[in-house]
Structure 1
Amino acid sequence: MVIEIIELPMITVIGKEGLCTTEKNIVQTLWQEANSHFHEVAALGMKNSDGTYVGFWGAMSDESMSFRPWTHQFTRGLYLAGVETYADAIAPEGWTKWVMPPRKYMVVDVEPDRYGEIFDEVINKTIPEKGMKLVGAVCDYTEPATGKNKLFFPVEAL
């Protein structure tokens, strides 16, 4: 597993928000909703110099919107399926804007069929082995230029 540790500034995402629980994981529903109405926010998406979008985030937060890890063993929390945008962008009606704080992230590539396995390995093994602790909600990220999916784990040194 390739691990990268990076620092990112504040990240702004506009997307479709919902509460996920063990009984009702609505991540796919939120992505379907965001994708089917993407034309409403397409102009707000931050773009690279080649015209591709910077990224699509499955941003996550605890229910208090403190961007802490999900509760109930990482099965309950808020999810925002959306596009990275500029800080001054205004979310259209029916969309939600989140501003994630600047953080240090442990970043790993993830294959959809190994999501749970990689998530568990990083949380339970990799982060502690690196002398770090999880300090925020883990986020999904898709890089449009490459199609790569990544997990961003907010971390700090112990």
Structure 2
Amino acid sequence: MSIWWSLHLRREAASVPLARRLLLGTMETAGVDPDVSYDLSVALTEACANAVEHGGGAGGGAGSASAAYQVTAYLDGETCRIEVTDSGPGFPGRRTRRAAPPARTGCLAEHGRGLGLIEQLADHVHFRNRPGRGAVVSFDKILKWREGALLKVS
């Protein structure tokens, strides 16, 4: 058995915990190990926050495509894949992996850590641009299961 869901969300801060809660609820119901669920929920939170902050083009009014982003999650077999797609300017340059963030002055910088955190929490991460249509952050993690889990792969 597998589970997948997709959300079309407004680029508003309130949408981030909604996506996170749906992921955590799905994983709890399926029987995914809580530590794995937590790691994926933090990575999802960072990807969604990035889409909310950077994921729209100029002039993105409430009815425009740039006022929204999409989250899709797939739990299938031993893997969970999550994709967050926005309609912003995309990532600078063409790269599939993000280099370590540059050193910052001040130890409490609030920006620039999210993509690096996703890389630390997931097993495989891809950042890609869709020319003229935004960016996609996708990440996979091998799942661990609780005893008696509904979707546990034998």
TM range (shorter): 0.3 to 0.5
Query: Greater helix percent: which structure?
Result: 2
Query: Greater strand percent: which structure?
Result: 1
TM-score (ref. length: structure 1): 0.33
TM-score (ref. length: structure 2): 0.33
